[in-house]
Structure 1
Amino acid sequence: MNKLRFRSGQVQLRKLRVDANSQVAPGDLLWLDGNVARPASEFTWDTDLATTQSSFAAAFVGIAHQASGVGETLPISVDVGTQSVYEMDVSPAAYEFGQPLGPDENLSTLMSQQLETCLAQNAIARSAEFTAGTVATLRVTLASAFSTSSTNAQAVIG
């Protein structure tokens, strides 16, 4: 997919190192593994989707604004803000404004650029619009576990 579709709002870019074995594309949902960022697709599966989404939410840092190839370790720009709106791929459905969203999965692997509805405590994003029918793209706001203004239920300070 490799799509970064920023639509509006306040972006809060931070520079994060990427694991040398990871490949990151603009638009990837990233998590912090120690002190390096990795795409959602590299997150370890745990029991079922809800359990994995919950663990991912606790480590979710933001959305990649730059690419990083395998072997590269230079820092990339990542939006950790909660006020920016992105248009993201979603599991086809109708959505309500404010609906909690987590990373979708494919064969017990989290997808790096697609969301689906989830329990509020597992959410890393919320729908930023109501849809009158089934859609495959949706405007969303993100909820980094590393932002003090986040709606991420897993976010903690200290």
Structure 2
Amino acid sequence: MAIIKSPRLFHVIEMGQLDLAYNAYTHEMINLSIRTMLEELQPNLYEESLIRLVDFGHELGHIIESLAKFNIPHGEFVGIGMAMSSFLAHLKGVLSRSDMEHIFNCILSLGLLIYTDEYNCCNAHIPWNKIRTEGIEHKDGMLHLAVPEAVGQAPS
């Protein structure tokens, strides 16, 4: 949510992540996380719209997670999915290179992956072919890939 909806939450995560124990940023991080998620989910409680920012990282993350036979923790696959979606946004001219690198650095500094050679799951053609078929099943046959257009902002 920080990457696609809240520049402040992104900043707080960057500042507070150095020490995962309780610190000066913990309260704000928790409050902003909850508020940002609720703001995003509340208008679409019954999922009438299948275009959801909360899917950011999950669309590709779930695909590569299945390709890797679930051998890496779910959160790490979501990190890879966020990186891949950010890279695609950059390739399409939606996200600047500096913002993409900023996102990558934050993901990496949290101890998450942005890529893995294991399981051949990050070869671009393999997840792309799979998401075009399996990834759209729960989205009424349409691929709505959530991508950032800047740190803390996504196209509406």
TM-based fold match above 0.5 = no
Higher RCO structure (Cα 8 Å, ≥6 apart)? 2
TM-score, normalisation: structure 1 = 0.24
Greater helix fraction, Structure 1 or Structure 2 = 2
TM-score, normalisation: structure 2 = 0.24
Larger radius of gyration: 2
